[in-house]
Amino acid sequence: MANETPHDLGRIFSTATKNGIVIPAFNVPYLPMIVAVADALAEHDTFALIEVARLEFFKFEAGSLAEVAEEFRRHADTRVTRLHLDHTPVIDEDGVRVDWRSFIAEALDLGYDSVMIDGSRLPLDENIAVTAEVVRMAHSAGALAEAELGSVLGHESGPMPPYEELFAQKAGFTKIDEAERFVAETGVDWLSVSIGSVHGAIGPATRNQTKVQAKLDIEHLRALHDATGIPLVLHGGSGIRHSYIEDAIRNGIAKINIGTDIRQPYVRALDETGSVRAAQAAVRDKMRQIICDVYRIEGSASRLHTLKEGI
């Protein structure tokens, strides 16, 4: 098993951005999903992150930071994947203040390769201050840091307003001048931006519903990438029309978070058969489709490791 450093992960992402190669990040709200995702990445020689968000410990069955890290080390080949801590909010989707500092510190102590702080519900100055602190924490541990600016909707409780109305109003979109300042003052490695995507619903009554088919404002994305100059992240990657995804990758999106697309097949198969193995097989089948048919990135691990030294 390869054992490259997290800072090599930074070079991989830089190479991906320069060469138009997307790096998916697969959320694993149930521990048995980890081996299915890891096996699919190895089988298809595809580089991606395996990630878990704070809410997946409390509203799903991801276990704990330690259990996820242990399962990852047991099954994952670091040549094709690394472990990422997804959304760690300062204020969560229920409006509750979170002890984000200790949560991120625990993940770094456990060897997570990258971490995300989500201060998107804070005023800009406070988001900058919190993110800068997390960047220092991560870099001192040899890890990378992601943050969010703007607001990718979908995790909040209650019904979401009509999507077309939100898109027309550019509700929650990342502001270009704020993004330029944010990156300059925080030194963050990756920035999650809001350009039209939405998160999958997480409420028990809605989490298995089909996601709205979101659109992306590619002109806004291009301006954000020009202003920031760093790899950008698209959250809520499930359910977006592929033509938008292709344009997004060409215009600065290096990481796309995918949760609903693999979570729903897992839960559906588990409910129908009662078999964890059948649910894992459903995830592997969906992973093959995402890798080979949707993003067409089979073999990206070899390509990224070959390209990185010369870029």
* Catalytic positions, written as ranges: 86
Structure tokens that stand for 45 in this block: 């020689």
Tell me whether residue 278 is in a domain.
yes
Tell me whether residue 293 is in a domain.
yes
pLDDT of 294 over the 70 cut: yes
Query: For position 40, which CATH number holds?
Result: 3.20.20.70
Tell me whether residue 240 is in a domain.
yes
Give the chain's domain count.
Answer: 1
Tell me whether residue 47 is in a domain.
yes
Q: Note down the domain range covering 62.
A: 6-310
Average pLDDT taken over every residue of the chain: 88
pLDDT of 2 over the 50 cut: no
pLDDT digits (tens, 9 = 90+) for 98-144: 999 999 999 999 999 999 999 999 999 999 999 999 999 999 999 99
Tell me whether residue 211 is in a domain.
yes
Tell me whether residue 178 is in a domain.
yes
Mean pLDDT of 68-79: 97
Tell me whether residue 190 is in a domain.
yes
pLDDT digits (tens, 9 = 90+) for 189-236: 999 999 887 754 444 544 455 545 677 899 999 999 999 999 999 988
pLDDT of residue 105: 98
Tell me whether residue 1 is in a domain.
no
